[in-house]
């Protein structure tokens, strides 16, 4: 029965990880930019949600849409004005740039919000199914995480913007010849990545305490999930996220919780050696 509980915990974590990594993976896959801001964007959105809830009594599920939209705009503008200028340069440049931007946002949050952990407490109680007990807020967060990942998949498959992004990912030169405006698609992609980060931040604030200290940790999760699942595909992020959630959940049980994170990283490094394209291999957003 303990096994079932661990499995359930792993799935809850996995859902959130998949959601965290989906946007990161999209940006990495399409723009070839490792977005070091991703963790801080999640935390920033988490703080926005918390303050909207604590100060103006806006329910997190209501602010989900607004925060996502806001983060999308932020990402769009950031990419359009700043990152687009160096997007073709080597990874050293783009990674260092986003790292620099991350330091600014991180510092800003530390000063303005302070690092005190804050959490939206909804008092929804918990659900028990047989011997498995899960807090309701985490369950809702997981369900929403899966839904959002599904929505992203649908957007990529069906919408015009999504098809343009996939086309740019496949062959940006050919896409440009077909009349796609590459800088806008890049900005759109980064915006979607930031928007996904924003949505994750809202879910995160509902299920876990928000503090700036975990932004690096969340970024690390995105790395691991991307390498496990492969880049630039929603199914890859989903598979990688679930895999990491289960690995951490079971690994934490067997080797102690402090070693669970190490286990994920070590597996990632091993996977980099033998199969750097991820378990699903390189595929587009089809």
The token pair at 60 is: 């997190």
CB of 203 to another protein, least distance (A): 24
Applying CB under 8 A, what is the total number of residues that bind another protein? 43
Q: Which stretch binds another protein (CB under 8 A): 119-127, 147-155, 189-197, 216-224?
A: 216-224
User: Which residues neighbour 234 within 8 Å (Cβ) at sequence distance 6 or greater?
Assistant: 22, 149, 152, 153, 156, 285
**Position 101 contacts another protein (CB under 8 A):** yes
Q: Which is nearer to another protein, 135 or 216 (CB)?
A: 216
**Position 104 contacts another protein (CB under 8 A):** yes
**Position 175 contacts another protein (CB under 8 A):** no
**Position 237 contacts another protein (CB under 8 A):** no
**Position 41 contacts another protein (CB under 8 A):** no
Q: Which of 132, 134, 163, 259 binds another protein (CB under 8 A)?
A: 259
**Position 220 contacts another protein (CB under 8 A):** yes
Question: Is 285:156 a contact under the CB 8 Å cutoff?
Answer: yes
Alpha-carbon span 11 to 211, nearest angstrom:
23
Question: Is 64:125 a contact under the CB 8 Å cutoff?
Answer: no
**Position 84 contacts another protein (CB under 8 A):** no
Q: Where are the alpha helices (DSSP H) in 171-259?
A: 172-177, 182-207, 215-229, 234-255
CA neighbor of 46 nearest in space, from 27, 60, 25:
60
User: What is the DSSP secondary structure assignment for residue 117, as one 8-state letter?
Assistant: -
Alpha-carbon span 56 to 221, nearest angstrom:
32
**Position 100 contacts another protein (CB under 8 A):** yes
The residues binding another protein (CB under 8 A) are: 28, 32, 34, 82, 85-86, 89-93, 95-97, 99-104, 106-108, 110-111, 216, 220, 223-224, 226-227, 256, 258-259, 261-262, 265-266, 268-269, 272-273, 276
């Amino acid at each position: 029965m303990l096994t079932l509980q661990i499995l359930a915990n792993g799935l809850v974590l996995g859902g959130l990880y998949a959601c965290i990594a989906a946007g990161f993976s999209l940006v990495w896959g399409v723009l070839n930019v490792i977005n070091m801001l991703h963790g801080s964007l999640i935390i920033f959105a988490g703080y926005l949600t918390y303050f909207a809830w604590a100060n103006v009594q806006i329910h997190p599920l209501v602010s989900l849409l607004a925060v996502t939209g806001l983060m999308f705009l932020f990402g769009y503008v950031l990419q359009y004005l700043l990152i687009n200028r160096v997007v073709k340069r080597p990874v050293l440049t783009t990674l260092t740039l986003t790292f620099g931007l991350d330091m600014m946002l991180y510092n800003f949050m530390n000063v303005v919000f302070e690092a005190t952990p804050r959490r939206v407490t909804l008092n929804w109680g918990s659900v028990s199914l047989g011997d498995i007990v899960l807090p309701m807020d985490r369950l809702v967060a997981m369900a929403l995480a899966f839904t959002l990942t599904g929505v992203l998949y649908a957007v990529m498959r069906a919408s015009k913007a999504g098809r343009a992004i996939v086309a740019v990912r496949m062959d940006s030169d050919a896409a440009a010849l077909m009349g796609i405006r590459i800088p806008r698609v890049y900005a759109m992609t980064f915006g979607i990545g930031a928007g996904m980060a924003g949505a994750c931040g809202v879910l995160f604030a509902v299920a876990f305490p928000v503090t700036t200290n975990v932004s690096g940790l969340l970024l690390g999760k995105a790395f691991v999930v991307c390498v496990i699942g492969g880049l630039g595909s929603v199914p890859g992020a989903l598979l990688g996220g679930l895999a990491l959630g289960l690995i951490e959940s079971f690994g934490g049980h067997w080797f102690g919780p402090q070693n669970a994170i190490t286990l994920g990283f070590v597996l990632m490094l091993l996977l980099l050696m033998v199969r750097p394209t991820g378990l699903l291999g390189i595929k587009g957003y089809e």
